[in-house]
Each structure stands twice: as C-alpha cells, then as structure tokens.
C-alpha cells in the first residue's frame, strides 16, 4: 500500500514539473547554458556564521560530508557517516534501529545540537537526538561544527552542531531507484525524483529498510534472540526562485522505525544487573520534520531570512514480559515491566537580518523563539506520568564579521536567551583567522561560552525532576593551523581544543535535597557536575593521483583525535564515560577508470569506560570496511559493500552487540526524464 502511495506521489510530482515546464518554457539562454560544462561552486560553509561563507574564510572547526561522498561509499545511515568524522564519539546499543548517541569534544549526547533543514530535532524529554532511524537517502550535506556554539544556535550546542540538509533539485528532472540485499536478511529499496524547471526545483524520495538483525545484547555473551528492524522514510524539498533574488522553500521528512531491543535483568536482593535477552521488547518511533524558509534581499546591502520549523516524535515502547539472564541462564518474568508512549514536539521561529557595511564589515542580527513540549503516558496502568509540559525561550543575537583584504578574518557575537523555567542565559563567541595566500596557510582560533537548558524529564519527571535546576554551562577555546597543498592537491590541519563544563545535571541520591519518592527512593537531578576536555585534532586530505594510467583518481582522508577528559565528582577525578583518549579513521578511495570506484575504510577507537567510576572498561577496536561500484551503463550501477571484513570482535557500548563480517550488494538506476 505504501509503495502504491509512493508511486502516486512520484507521478504527481512529475505532473507538477511538467506543468511548470509549460508555464516557464526553456529559453534560448537556458539551451545555451545546457551545452556548457557544469560549473562547481567553491566549498562553502553555512552553520559557522548562519551565512554562506567560503571555507577558506571560516574561523571555526567545521567538517562537511556531502551526499555524493556518502553515496560513493554506500553508507546507509547518517550515524555510520558520523563514525568517520573528526572529534565525534558515536555509540550504538545493538544493530540497525537501536539507540545511537553522538558526542562531541568530551561532551554528552545532550550537548550536541542536531538540525534537519533548520528544524531542531533534539528530544524535548531526553535532550539528545537518537540517530537510529535517519538514513542518508536524499541528504545533500552534513555540516559538523565543533566547539561551543550557543552564541548563534542557543541551547544544546555546548559540544557542537550537526546541521543536515536535504537535497535540492538543481539539474534537469531525474528519477532513480535502488534495491539492495545482504547479511542478516537485510533488504533496502527506494526511489527518488529530483530536478529543476524554470523557477521551481523539487527533490523527493521514499525508502524502506527491513532486516532480521542480530541480538542487541552481544551474542558472544550468550544472547541468542534476533532483534529485527523495519524502517520507512520519506522526504521532500520544494523550492521556488522569487523575483529580486528571493527564494521560498519547504522541506518535509517522515521516519517510521520499529525495532526490537534487549535490556538487563535486575535482582532486587543482590542489586546485580546482568545483560538479558528480553523477549517481545519493542518500540516504534514515528517522526515528522517540517521546515519553511523564506529569503529576500531588501536592498543590495540588506537581506532577511525567515525560518519556521516543527519536529514531532511519538515513541511507543513495550519492555516485554519475559527475559533470559545471559549470565545465569535463567528465564524469568521481567522485574519492572513497562509500556509507555512519549509524545514530543519542538517548534522554532527565527527571523534573521544580514547587513553589509562596506566591503570589510557585515552584521548579522536575529530573533529566535523556541518551544519544546512533552507528554509521557504509562500504557500498562493507563495513567499520565506528565502532560503538556512546556519549555520555551525567546532569544536575540548579533554577530559582526570582519574581512580585511581576504586575508584577515574575524567574528564577534553575543546572545541573550530568556526561558520560562529558569531565567536567562548570556553567551558570546569571538573568532579570528589569518590567511597567507602566497603559501595557502591559515591560522585560526576561537573562544566562546555555551549553555544547555534542563530537559522536561530533568525538570518535571515524577520522583526525579527538579524545577529549581539551572542550565549547564561551558567555556571553550580552540586554535589550529591549516595548510593547503600546492596545485590544490589537498589540505593538512592540526589543532588544539579545551572545554570546561560546569553545573552539569546529574542524578544524585540525597534525601535532604530530593526527599523520599516512590518505592522509598531519593534520587533527583541536581547541578553538581564539573568536567573538562582537552585534546588535539589532526586531519590530512590528499589527492594522491589524478589522470594516471589505471589511476584516474586516488584520494586519502585521515582523521586523528586525542581527547583527555576529567570528570570531577565526589572528590574523585575520573575519565568521562564513553570517551576514548585516542581514535582515528581513514578512507582510501581508488578510481582506476571512470566506471569503477573502490573505497577502503578503517576506524580505530581506543579504550573507554562505560560508567562514571571507570570500573567498567570497554576494550579498543579496529574495524575495516570495503565498498566498490561499477557503472554498467550511464544509467545503471552495480555495487557491493563489506563491513567488518576482518570480523573484529568489539562493542561500542558495554554488553551490546555489533555486526560480524557482513556483505551487501545492490543495483542503482538513474534516468533523466524527457521534460
């Protein structure tokens, strides 16, 4: 039924494009331009200043992953793409569809702000964004902005920002589809339509993933039950070029993911908690992301941009009734069964103005309204845990950008947020950079402050929430040197960063502060945490060969990150959980001829700890992947991907499983529509 609907939607989109093609006939100029070679714009970055800026002028630590790169490597999920990015720690509690946390620069998942087409998708109740259901289909680019970024982006950006953009139709209309099969009885398939005709551009896709999966608890520890996953995803981006260089856009993304999961068997007598196969435990997440954007120059030196967005999620979870303790081998009823429904929404309205004062100076100023709502219902008892809880804020921000002789760059900005629950938060950020054009050397540095508002759970959850919480705060700096190689053969960069986190919100057992809640507990959320993170980041991007015999192109990308964290709690200093000191990733891309491409990927993650007390170490691991594609014709491509080719035995989260050696193969078809 869904495929029938998808085909009807694609057919409707074709009719819409045909209609606009008749309204806006192709001009002689467009015909002439079609015969010209395709022009590629220079690399630009948006998230660092909320304005389009050439990458060579950016004074922040930023990395861009394009949709083309992900398609060449046959990466299925955004989480998998982020695993190979710099300065991130990505961990998943099992196979496809299970919870994926992304951390930046020694921070927590709640301190990473995630946006899709301008919509904030962080959970209103948990604070973090679960990347479990987000695939790479119809994604144009991912910008990863590292470091404290609240001055422009507000709450949750203490560690950094991940800004995801849906593809925009830019060329003549094209329809494509793919089908893939592989290990764990995994089936992927989908179709898309994209193009531009006259002032109208369109990009849309719908995809499906089904897999029998593997046990969420590591099968090597004794788990046996397979935990499957099913996902539907659709996305649309529709744009219109308006008179006087204006533009109107609408984006929509829908995700429907169903997954089985495992958990832990808790013994109330010994307080032991062992990993367990949980039979019948499952959840279903339905997410909708809407975003509208209107851009219009007012004069040749003044432009405005209005963004309106809404992201919603309905998460229904059933914890199952029976579990098998993989340590003792006993099968027993679950001690604390649960069945819940959590509904959250996040709304954002932002009005931004960009003003240029002569050539060297420009100003950005804006207003943002942000609102998060959450409901939590216990479906076992048919009671409401909490209802219509709201966290909202009004914010104003301003930033000045300086560009002298295309050599000396700088930004300085300040932001004021006013919240309905805890008052105000003031943040600022200053950056600077100098480019030596003759040698291609750039020096850059920044200093900034950031904050994270407490979540709805931390404020209002019964017998745990604390309405007197203050926001978490941080201050951080980074410095780096970037070198462009001669003849545009690549770049080399080395940098240092330092971040101090304070007033961290932790769960504390204190009968005086928390009182005594249900079941005699006295846990609650309080601002008692303090942590620091410092480290080095190094990156090398080489174009090793171009247009050589049997080497049309050979590219190498290397990332290395050293992160030293200190967690100060109860008079002790430990490492922050889930953070390795050393990690590196490498991608070698080889194209012997135009029609063939192969990629070898390696990722090393050092030892880290699963808990605050550092008593549960997680061993280091090294994983290698391999992918290859062959263009059978101009319109047909066959491809294969092999993950964990050396069958590494490892865990990203203690006790939880990861894929064994697995192979996937598929066919992708592209066809230009005769419009």
| H/E segment holding residue 83 | helix 78-83
Per-residue model confidence (pLDDT) at position 492: 96
Euclidean distance between CA atoms 530 and 528, whole angstroms: 7
Confidence grade of residue 202 (pLDDT, cut at 50, 70, 90): very high
What is the average per-residue pLDDT within 143-159? 94
Q: What tokens appear for 393 in the block? A: 């804020």
Per-residue model confidence (pLDDT) at position 11: 42
Does position 521 have pLDDT exceeding 80, yes or no? no
| Contact assessment for residue 57 and residue 408, using Cβ atoms and an 8 Å cutoff | no
Spell out the domain ranges in the chain.
2-672
Does position 466 have pLDDT exceeding 50, yes or no? yes
Euclidean distance between CA atoms 109 and 98, whole angstroms: 15
Q: What tokens appear for 242 in the block? A: 């308006």
Does position 522 have pLDDT exceeding 70, yes or no? no
| Contact assessment for residue 201 and residue 170, using Cβ atoms and an 8 Å cutoff | yes
Does position 12 have pLDDT exceeding 80, yes or no? no
| Contact assessment for residue 154 and residue 393, using Cβ atoms and an 8 Å cutoff | yes
In sequence order, what DSSP letters do the residues of 446-481 get, joined into one string? Answer: EEEEEEEPPPHHHHHSTTT--TTPPPEEEEEEEEEE
Considering only 35-49, 75-89, 431-445, which range has the smallest mean pLDDT? Answer: 35-49
| Contact assessment for residue 97 and residue 259, using Cβ atoms and an 8 Å cutoff | yes
Per-residue model confidence (pLDDT) at position 269: 60
Per-residue model confidence (pLDDT) at position 39: 31
**Which residue reads 């010209």 in tokens?**
36
Single out the residue of 292, 316, 318 nearest to residue 305, CA to CA.
292
Q: Looking at residue 646, what DSSP letter applies?
A: T
What is the average per-residue pLDDT within 594-604? 97
- Judged by DSSP in three states, 360 sits in coil
Single out the residue of 354, 367, 289 nearest to residue 46, CA to CA.
354
CA-based torsion, 50, 51, 53, 59: positive or negative: negative
Does position 17 have pLDDT exceeding 80, yes or no? no
Q: What tokens appear for 245 in the block? A: 């260089």
Q: What tokens appear for 594 in the block? A: 């135009």
Euclidean distance between CA atoms 341 and 338, whole angstroms: 10
Q: How many other C-beta atoms are found inside a 10 Å radius of the C-beta of residue 292?
A: 17
Rg (CA), the chain: 25
What is the average per-residue pLDDT within 142-163? 94
| Contact assessment for residue 239 and residue 200, using Cβ atoms and an 8 Å cutoff | yes
Per-residue model confidence (pLDDT) at position 138: 94
Q: Between β-strands 112-116 and 160-166, what pairing exists: parallel, antiparallel or unpaired?
A: parallel
Phi, psi of 230 (to 5 degrees): -135, 130
In sequence order, what DSSP letters do the residues of 36-62 get, joined into one string? Answer: SPPP-PPPEESTTTTS-EEGGG--SEE
| Contact assessment for residue 176 and residue 670, using Cβ atoms and an 8 Å cutoff | yes
Quick: pLDDT tens for 253-276.
Answer: 999 999 999 999 876 665 568 899
More confident residue, 674 or 197: 197
- Note if the pTM is more than 0.75: yes
Q: What homologous superfamily is domain 2-672 in, according to CATH? A: TonB-dependent receptor, beta-barrel domain (2.40.170.20)
Does position 40 have pLDDT exceeding 80, yes or no? no
What is the average per-residue pLDDT within 401-412? 93
What is the average per-residue pLDDT within 112-134? 96
Does position 2 have pLDDT exceeding 50, yes or no? no
Does position 129 have pLDDT exceeding 50, yes or no? yes
H runs (alpha helix) in 206-310: none
Quick: pLDDT tens for 349-391.
Answer: 999 999 998 889 999 999 999 999 999 999 999 999 999 999 9
Euclidean distance between CA atoms 322 and 335, whole angstroms: 9
Does position 242 have pLDDT exceeding 70, yes or no? yes
């Amino acid at each position: 039924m869904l495929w029938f609907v998808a085909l009807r939607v694609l057919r409707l989109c074709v009719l819409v494009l045909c209609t606009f093609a008749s309204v806006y006939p192709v001009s002689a100029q467009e015909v002439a331009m079609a015969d010209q070679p395709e022009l590629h714009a220079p690399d630009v970055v948006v998230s660092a200043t909320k304005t389009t800026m050439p990458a060579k002028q950016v004074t922040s630590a930023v990395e861009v992953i394009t949709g083309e790169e992900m398609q060449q490597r046959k990466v299925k999920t955004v989480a998998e793409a982020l695993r190979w990015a710099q300065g991130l720690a990505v961990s998943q509690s099992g196979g496809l569809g299970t919870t994926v946390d992304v951390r930046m620069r020694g921070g927590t998942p709640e301190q990473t702000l995630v946006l899709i087409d301008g919509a904030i998708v962080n959970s209103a109740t948990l604070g973090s964004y679960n990347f479990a259901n987000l695939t790479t289909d119809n994604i144009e680019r991912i910008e990863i902005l590292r470091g404290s970024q609240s001055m422009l982006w507000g709450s949750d950006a203490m560690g950094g920002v991940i800004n995801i953009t849906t593809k925009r139709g830019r060329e003549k209309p094209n329809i494509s589809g793919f089908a893939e099969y592989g290990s764990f009885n995994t089936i992927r398939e989908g179709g898309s339509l994209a193009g531009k005709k006259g002032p109208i551009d369109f990009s849309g896709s719908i995809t499906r993933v089904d897999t029998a999966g593997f046990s969420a608890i590591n099968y090597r520890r004794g788990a046996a039950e397979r935990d499957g996953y099913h996902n539907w995803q659709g996305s649309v981006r529709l744009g219109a070029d308006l008179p006087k260089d204006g533009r109107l856009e609408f984006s929509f993304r829908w995700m429907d993911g169903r997954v089985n999961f495992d958990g832990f068997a808790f013994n109330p007598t010994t307080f032991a908690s062992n990993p367990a196969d949980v039979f019948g435990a499952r959840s279903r997440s339905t997410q909708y992301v809407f975003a509208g954007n209107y851009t219009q120059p007012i004069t040749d030196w003044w432009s405005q941009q209005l963004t309106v967005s809404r992201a919603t999620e309905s998460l229904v979870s059933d914890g199952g009734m029976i579990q098998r303790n993989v340590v003792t081998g006993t099968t027993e009823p679950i001690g604390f069964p649960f069945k819940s429904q959590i509904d959250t929404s996040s709304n954002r309205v932002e009005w931004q103005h960009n003003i240029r004062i002569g050539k060297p100076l420009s100003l950005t100023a804006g207003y943002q309204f942000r609102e998060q709502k959450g409901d939590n219902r216990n479906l076992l008892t048919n009671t409401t845990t909490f209802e219509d809880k709201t966290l909202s804020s009004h914010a104003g921000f301003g930033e000045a950008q300086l560009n002298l002789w295309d050599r000396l760059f700088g930004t300085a900005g300040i932001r004021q947020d006013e919240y309905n629950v805890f008052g105000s938060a003031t943040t600022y950020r200053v950056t600077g950079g100098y480019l030596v054009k003759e040698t291609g050397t750039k020096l850059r540095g920044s200093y900034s402050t950031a904050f994270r508002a407490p979540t709805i759970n931390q404020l209002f959850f019964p017998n745990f929430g604390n309405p007197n919480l203050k926001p978490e705060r941080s201050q951080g700096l980074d410095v780096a040197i970037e070198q462009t190689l001669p003849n545009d053969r690549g770049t080399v960069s080395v940098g240092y960063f330092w971040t101090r986190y304070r007033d961290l919100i932790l769960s504390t057992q204190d009968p005086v502060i928390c009182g005594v809640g249900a079941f005699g507990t006295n846990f609650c959320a309080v601002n008692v945490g303090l942590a620091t993170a410092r480290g080095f980041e190094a990156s090398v991007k080489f174009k090793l060969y171009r247009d050589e015999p049997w080497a049309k192109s050979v590219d190498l990308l290397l990332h290395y990150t050293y992160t030293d964290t200190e967690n100060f709690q109860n008079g002790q200093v430990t490492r922050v959980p889930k953070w390795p000191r050393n990690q590196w990733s490498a991608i070698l891309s080889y194209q012997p001829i135009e029609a063939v491409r192969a990629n070898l990927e390696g990722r090393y993650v050092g030892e880290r700890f699963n808990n605050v007390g550092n008593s549960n170490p997680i061993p280091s691991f090294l994983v290698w992947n391999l992918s290859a594609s062959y263009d059978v014709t101009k319109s047909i491509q066959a491809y294969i991907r092999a993950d964990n080719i050396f069958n590494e035995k490892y865990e990203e989260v203690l006790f939880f499983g990861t894929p064994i050696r697995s192979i996937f193969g598929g066919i992708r078809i592209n066809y230009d529509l005769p419009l």
